[in-house]
Structure 1
Amino acid sequence: MREENDEDPNGMIRTEADIAEALAALTLADARLARIVEAAGSVPLRRSRTGLEGLLAIVVAQQVSRASADAIFGRLAAAVDLTDPAALLAVGDETLRSAGLSRPKQQTVRAVAAALAEGRLDLSRCASAPAEAAIAEMVAVRGIGVWTAECWLLFCAGHRDVFPAGDLALQAAVAHALDHDSRPTARRLTEIAEAWKPHRSVAARLFWAYYATIHRREIVPAAESPGPATPPESTAKSRKPASRPRRGSSKPLS
């Protein structure tokens, strides 16, 4: 396995080779994962836009279809420079509304832009910080929840050790793959994922890929009582299996 170097001190997930190396390490650490790797097939890299653009793409994609997210993001990018917090703060409400942003998403976009402009949020710092510190800094911004921060770290920053345990698709995939009778709560899934450190980001990718192979083909377990912890930005509001995992710039976990 390649050693981490001075140019990449945090061992970020940047290439398909990084995925392959992490999968090899995961199967050595947890023999149960070997059959899951085989069943899942290809585990894609799924790197997305970095920085502010990537964060905005995740916000835009929440609660809408992939096609709608792509269309909204395209209109927004055509109307304003999505890499410039000052430009986002200067743009009028009508422009954001015309692009297709709901009022809560408009508020989130402005809150993120203000935090960046005022120095309360530094995405470059978050990208290189330990996950816990990065998530804490991001969720301090109104409208950014833990799930959003985790997805940004995974797909935009390439962080190697993030596992969004509140994601319903991951809960369903782990339950099915590991033969649990019920879908684990977020807390329980966090405990399970401890065994996959420091490669939890690739473990998450693996279980999303596995989920895609069982979605709409097999019945996935119902939630443990009293039900799953639902992240603020979750696309699923019930105990039914989550919609197909969405990813990156359009559907953060698809």
Structure 2
Amino acid sequence: MRPHGSPDKAGIIRTEADIAAGLSALVRIDPRLEAVAATAGPLPLRRDPGGLPGLARIIVAQQVSRASAAAIFARLEAEFDIADPQAFLSADDAVYRRAGLSRPKQRTVRAVAKAVDRGDLDLARVEVAPVDTALAELVGVSGVGPWTAECYLLFCAGHPDVFPSGDLALRVALAHAFHHDARPSARQAASLALAWAPHRSVAARLFWAYYAAITRREAAPAA
């Protein structure tokens, strides 16, 4: 994901002021987004702690509501130290079942914990690496797909130019905002988002908020 189109520089997103600056830049790049922003309302910062707990939280959140994800993650935290990769590896299936984690997600969090424990996945390094490099390292772990990797960089690392184009809510929002008869494919959504570089992470927040406004549903990302 390399910047295209905009001469504006974008730094790591740390504060609400960074979101506001990114949104102003987006409206300059694409004036259509002013109407989208008016409907979306205030954009949340949504920065989460990184490391193993942060990546595990995103895995848990796949394809469930934000409330369900929070409940599952809270049960995991009650079972063991989520910052310790060995704790993930030593927990048996019953522990994960009590927490409400599906078998595919169990396999993924264990694969991530194993990679972190072995040093094959260095999340501190990932968070400061160029986006393409970071994505490649993350998706190199079994079970970690592009959506999970992109959301980790967006929410935990604060990368400014990530747009999870496979996200269903984002694609629904794009179709509605631009009056498309059908929601775009992931490839088409990625192509649309190219124009918003290097502020695609704020664009993603904008369209999640827009989705919440038009559907009255949670603005949680969903693969």
Which moved further from structure 2: 151-160 or 94-103? Answer: 94-103
Q: Hey, what's the Cα distance between the residues in 1 that align with 2:102 and 2:86?
A: 21
- The one-letter code matched in structure 1 to 2:192 is I
Pairs within 5 Å for 1:1-254: 11-215=11-215, 244-246=218-220, 252=221
Q: 5+ residue gaps in structure 2?
A: 1-8
Contact 2:39–2:210 (CA<8 Å) still a contact in 1?
yes
Q: Which residue of 2 aligns with 1:231?
A: none
Q: What's the TM-score, normalizing by structure 2?
A: 0.89
Q: Hey, what's the Cα distance between the residues in 2 that align with 1:136 and 1:53?
A: 20
Q: Which protein is richer in helix relative to its size?
A: 2
Give the Å deviation of 1:10. Answer: 7.3
Greater RCO (Cα-Cα under 8 Å, separation 6 or more): 2
Query: Residues 134-154 of structure 1: CA distance to partner in whole angstroms, max 9, x if unpaired?
Result: 111111111111111111111
Q: Hey, what's the Cα distance between the residues in 2 that align with 1:109 and 1:27?
A: 38
Q: What's the TM-score, normalizing by structure 1?
A: 0.79
Please provide the CA RMSD for this pair.
1.8
Query: Residues 207-239 of structure 1: CA distance to partner in whole angstroms, max 9, x if unpaired?
Result: 1111111116xxxxxxxxxxxxxxxxxxxxxxx
Aligned to 1:210, what secondary structure does the other structure show?
A: helix
Q: Hey, what's the Cα distance between the residues in 2 that align with 1:171 and 1:66?
A: 18
Contact 2:10–2:198 (CA<8 Å) still a contact in 1?
no
Q: Provide the aligned length of Structure 1 versus Structure 2.
A: 214
Aligned-pair identity (%):
61
Q: Hey, what's the Cα distance between the residues in 1 that align with 2:188 and 2:64?
A: 28
Q: 5+ residue gaps in structure 1?
A: 1-8, 217-242, 247-251
Change (3 A) 1:66 1:41: closer
Change (3 A) 1:68 1:180: closer
Change (3 A) 1:60 1:36: same
Q: Hey, what's the Cα distance between the residues in 1 that align with 2:50 and 2:157?
A: 6
Q: Hey, what's the Cα distance between the residues in 1 that align with 2:28 and 2:66?
A: 35
Q: Hey, what's the Cα distance between the residues in 2 that align with 1:67 and 1:161?
A: 27
Give the Å deviation of 1:71. Answer: 2.1
